[in-house]
Chain A
Amino acid sequence: MFAYYMELALRSLKRSPGLTTLMVLAIGFGVAASMTSWSVFRAVSGDPIPWKSAKLFVPQIDNWGSNGRSSDGEPPNAMDYADAMALMRQHRAKLQSAMYQISPSIVPAEASRHPVNVGGHAVYGEFFPMLDVPFKYGSGWSASDDANRAQVVVIGSKLNQKLFGGANSVGRSVNIEGHDYRVVGVLDHWNPQPRYYDVVNSGGFNSQSDDVFLPFQTAIQANIQNDGNTNCYAVPKEPGFVGLQHSECVWIAFMVELDDAAAVSAYRSYLDGYAKEQQQAGRFGWAPNNRLRDLPAWLDNQHVVPSDTKVSLLVALGLLLVCLVNTIGLLLAKFLRRSGEIGVRRALGAPRRAIYLQFLTEAGMVGAAGGVLGLLLTCAGVASVGWVMPKDIASLARLDVSLLVLTLLVAVLATMLAGLYPTWRASRVQPAWQLKSN
């Protein structure tokens, strides 16, 4: 029977080719425009570490007081040295790391080559297991390396390619800012976008990967300066990098892993306890005003997803809506005109169900055709995103299977839905009345 309905639908669609083309075009356009924006949106707002983001938290401590807060009462979005070090020392979370952005120059072994600047972070050893950082060779460093300020380094795959031709370089040494460091690990390709562990400095997105990771205290000792933002409420009393460490300026990112709700509330009260201690010690002249957000909430709070992308998604959804309304209107006009045909079929004994099936088949076919067109247009759209969007965002927008399936489903479902009302009207037609009037 279904094959018969298909044939009927084909015949009916062939009878008005212009209208059919219009409907297919409208659906194709709408689906393609909204899906393309959706793929961009998903690429930039997508959870960078979905399996763990609910366990990663970013603590904020108010070390500036009410005058330094923004209008909504938020504490600074980074930490000063004293607080970050206290939190590291007291070590209350399962895993935790303070970090700051560095951009040291690497001096190649051959004297003829010019030194290069490489981006990276100074972190604690727990950074690597906390963020499930993938290693190609070797591993991160231990807590005792952190404590002993060991001269070790973890390098990215790109830097490994550049310096050692991609070979296993664990145990070899790299000259960073004039000192030799022993390579303990080489990362596999790892460049999470957004760069969630330090969004304050990267604005979330960064087309260049972090290529060098040094132990935090080793970097501090080697006087490798902060390459990220420094925000000060008051000018440091002493000059230079050491002055920055003794100041209330914020420049350190901090992340902790807390595995369950009990651990979260324990850490929250620990932070408040810490701030109270500081208040009693006279350093803070205000009540504790801390925050502890999980990663998704933190990314949202820091406006990491460009609001432009969200707005363009809304606009694209509006376009899809217009296309669907358009299709409903056209299908309605087409189906309602066929009451004569329905009358004949009903008079010959077709139940309502059969009428529904016939017309939904026709609507579904229009939807599928529109979906396929939309699919092709979406492919073209995603491929051409690079022409209009900045490279760092465009390179993330990819067509994947789930997007393809969703495209088809949205198209077919939307048209079937659009076909439902006209079909319902058509199946209500009284056969006798319809036959008589003809």
Chain B
Amino acid sequence: MQIKPILSALKKHRLATFLIAMEIALACAVLCNAVFMIANRLTAMNLDSGVDESSLGAITVTGFDPAQATDLNARMVAGLRAVPGVESAQVISSVPFGAQSLVAGISLDPSGKKTPAVVQFYQGAPGTIDALGLKLEAGRLPATSDYQPLSGQEYFPAVSPVLVTRALAEHLWPGQNPLGREFWMAKWQFRVIGVLSHLSVSQYTEYAEQGAEWTVFVPTLPGGQLAGTYLIRAKPQDIESVMTTARAAVAKIAPEVVLDHENSHSVSFLRERFFRTDRAMAGMLVGVIVALLGVTALGIVGLASFWVAQRRKQIGIRRAIGATRGDILRYFQTENFLIVTFGIALGMALAFVLNAVLMKFYELPHLPLYYLPVGALALWALGQLAVLGPALRAANVPPVVATRSV
């Protein structure tokens, strides 16, 4: 295929060529960035909570007298266990995707001058680890004697043996064995006895300087500050109906408290609600991408059809002097390829500029390089598909057209 005649033909339509190339360039820039943003959303939505989400739910109540915490816990746990379908009911401080609680900065020395991490503490009664379905990766699970009571209005026991996640251990002690290490939060001391593979924070935000899995599990006996939130485990197929029954049961179990409707749901529901905005954003971006590709394809179809109609006579002449249908078809395909290539070259530069702007204003990460060739391939394919119809029409122009006068 000779490229020179195509280029000189395009030179005659410099502006139209330039505009289509610009359109491709803009499409390329927007496409790369939009796909990248969708990918970011999806990664965020894949957060591994580390618990058996489909079997779990939480019931949260408020408005009780702190002095009655122990009595309330006993009544709630007994009452909830009596709900048909409930396999286990435990006192817990919070659940993944539920209300956030006990988030604090920790330090690796008692002075507390530096806080290398802001973590979420989960507190739970004996049996909570089993009910959550947490997986131990190293060390040991807390023994019965490790569960200590909270006195008065204290948040933690003075010294607690704790489980930390792999992610937090790697952040605090990179490359070292975390077992036996200690850290502090204010006056409270914690000693690592085991490492969990995963356990996510309740309300993860990308913008806070906090890891999605920087969590600590503190074995604690119910009472004092640990009251009001209850973890429920049931069979995955029963969990929604069990939760409905459990919510209704609270009024009978403890008539004096107020059920927190916002935070009393199955963990699957809480997760779905937590990621609603991300899903919406991804959906909107997909819509925009589809519209963008559609419009770009329409533009190519329109201009190519127009050029084909304009050049009917020239095509006829070429056919009359011996060009095959394939030659004509390939002419238009090559022409399209050249224009799209020009557009992609511009578009890659534009994509980086756009990414830089987004990074500056909206805390977006850097666009990985491999998005560019993928975007280029997509646009080449789109261009070839769009031009196929008009090019086939061109190939069908009979040679006899050449002999007709205007």
Chain A residues packing against B (C-beta within 8 Å): 16, 18-19, 22-23, 25-26, 29-30, 33, 37, 67, 103, 105, 114-117, 177, 234-235, 239-240, 243, 303, 306-308, 310-312, 314-316, 318-319, 321-323, 325-326, 328-330, 332-334, 336-337, 388-390, 421, 438
Measured CB to CB, the closest approach of chain B to A417, in angstroms, equals 13
Q: Are B302 and A318 in contact (CB under 8 A)?
A: no
Q: In the complex, identify which listed stretch (B137-145, B170-178, B277-285, B317-325) lies at the interface while the others stay far away.
A: B277-285
Please judge, given known A-B contacts A22-B301, A308-B277, A308-B281, whether A322 and B26 are in contact too, CB under 8 Å.
yes
Please judge, given known A-B contacts A26-B298, A29-B291, whether A318 and B26 are in contact too, CB under 8 Å.
yes
B292 contact from A19, A177, A319, Cβ within 8 A: A319
Q: In the complex, identify which listed stretch (B1-9, B17-25, B158-166) lies at the interface while the others stay far away.
A: B17-25
Q: Are A322 and B296 in contact (CB under 8 A)?
A: yes
Residues of A within 8 A of B284 (CB): 37, 312, 388-389
A315 contact from B33, B302, B303, B307, Cβ within 8 A: B33
**Mind listing 12 A-B residue pairs with CB under 8 Å?**
A19-B302, A25-B295, A115-B258, A315-B30, A315-B285, A318-B29, A322-B30, A322-B296, A328-B19, A329-B303, A388-B279, A389-B284
Chain B at the A interface: SS class:
helix
Q: Are B186 and A319 in contact (CB under 8 A)?
A: no
B37 contact from A306, A311, A325, A329, Cβ within 8 A: A311
| B207 on the A face (CB < 8 A) | yes
Measured CB to CB, the closest approach of chain B to A345, in angstroms, equals 19
Q: Are B299 and A33 in contact (CB under 8 A)?
A: no
Q: Are A235 and B301 in contact (CB under 8 A)?
A: no
| B62 on the A face (CB < 8 A) | yes
Chain A at the B interface: SS class:
helix
Closest 9 CB pairs of A and B: A239-B153, A329-B19, A326-B299, A318-B30, A235-B186, A22-B302, A307-B362, A388-B283, A388-B280
Chain B residue with Cβ nearest A238: B153
Q: Are B281 and A115 in contact (CB under 8 A)?
A: no
The count of chain B contact residues (Cβ–Cβ below 8 Å) is: 60
Q: Are A330 and B299 in contact (CB under 8 A)?
A: yes
Q: Are B358 and A311 in contact (CB under 8 A)?
A: yes
Q: Are B295 and A322 in contact (CB under 8 A)?
A: yes
Residues of A within 8 A of B385 (CB): none
A325 contact from B23, B280, B298, B358, Cβ within 8 A: B23
Complex CA gap A114/B13 in Å reads 77
Measured CB to CB, the closest approach of chain B to A212, in angstroms, equals 14
Residues of A within 8 A of B155 (CB): 235
Chain B residue with Cβ nearest A326: B299
Residues of A within 8 A of B281 (CB): 308, 312
Please judge, given known A-B contacts A117-B62, A308-B281, whether A326 and B292 are in contact too, CB under 8 Å.
no
Most buried by A among B19, B66, B258, B287: B19
Please judge, given known A-B contacts A312-B284, A326-B299, A334-B306, whether A105 and B258 are in contact too, CB under 8 Å.
yes
Residues of A within 8 A of B255 (CB): 114
Chain B residues packing against A (C-beta within 8 Å): 13, 15-16, 19-20, 22-23, 26-27, 29-30, 33-34, 37, 62-63, 66, 113, 152-155, 186-187, 207, 251, 255, 258, 260, 276-277, 279-281, 283-285, 287-288, 291-292, 294-296, 298-299, 301-303, 305-307, 310, 354, 358, 361-364, 406
Q: Are B291 and A332 in contact (CB under 8 A)?
A: no
Residues of A within 8 A of B299 (CB): 22, 26, 325-326, 329-330
Q: Are B295 and A319 in contact (CB under 8 A)?
A: yes
Q: Are B296 and A326 in contact (CB under 8 A)?
A: yes
Q: Are A18 and B288 in contact (CB under 8 A)?
A: no
A18 contact from B260, B302, B361, Cβ within 8 A: B302
Complex CA gap A419/B79 in Å reads 75
Complex CA gap A336/B37 in Å reads 40
Complex CA gap A326/B299 in Å reads 6
Q: Are A332 and B16 in contact (CB under 8 A)?
A: yes
- With A319-B291, A321-B26, A329-B299 known, 12 other A-B pairs at CB within 8 A are A18-B305, A26-B299, A33-B287, A105-B258, A114-B255, A177-B63, A311-B364, A315-B33, A325-B26, A326-B299, A333-B13, A388-B280
B251 contact from A114, A319, A390, Cβ within 8 A: A114
Residues of B within 8 A of A388 (CB): 279-280, 283-284, 287
A322 contact from B23, B153, B358, B362, Cβ within 8 A: B23
Q: Are A26 and B305 in contact (CB under 8 A)?
A: no
Most buried by A among B30, B33, B276: B30
Chain B residue with Cβ nearest A103: B62
Residues of B within 8 A of A25 (CB): 295, 298
B27 contact from A308, A312, A322, Cβ within 8 A: A322
Q: Are B295 and A29 in contact (CB under 8 A)?
A: yes
Complex CA gap A19/B27 in Å reads 21
Q: Are A315 and B34 in contact (CB under 8 A)?
A: yes
Q: Are B63 and A390 in contact (CB under 8 A)?
A: no
Complex CA gap A329/B296 in Å reads 11
Q: Are B37 and A333 in contact (CB under 8 A)?
A: no
Complex CA gap A37/B250 in Å reads 43
Measured CB to CB, the closest approach of chain B to A383, in angstroms, equals 14
Residues of B within 8 A of A306 (CB): 277
Residues of B within 8 A of A29 (CB): 291, 294-295
Residues of A within 8 A of B186 (CB): 234-235
Measured CB to CB, the closest approach of chain A to B157, in angstroms, equals 15
Residues of A within 8 A of B307 (CB): 333
Measured CB to CB, the closest approach of chain B to A377, in angstroms, equals 10
Residues of A within 8 A of B62 (CB): 103, 105, 117
Measured CB to CB, the closest approach of chain B to A344, in angstroms, equals 15
Complex CA gap A312/B291 in Å reads 14
Q: Are A303 and B207 in contact (CB under 8 A)?
A: yes
Measured CB to CB, the closest approach of chain B to A219, in angstroms, equals 15
Q: Are B302 and A330 in contact (CB under 8 A)?
A: yes
Q: Are B153 and A329 in contact (CB under 8 A)?
A: no
Complex CA gap A315/B154 in Å reads 50
Complex CA gap A56/B355 in Å reads 35
Measured CB to CB, the closest approach of chain A to B178, in angstroms, equals 25
Please judge, given known A-B contacts A114-B251, A390-B280, whether A319 and B288 are in contact too, CB under 8 Å.
yes
Please judge, given known A-B contacts A312-B285, A326-B23, A389-B280, whether A116 and B30 are in contact too, CB under 8 Å.
no
Complex CA gap A200/B26 in Å reads 38
Residues of B within 8 A of A329 (CB): 16, 19-20, 23, 299, 302-303
Residues of B within 8 A of A114 (CB): 251, 255
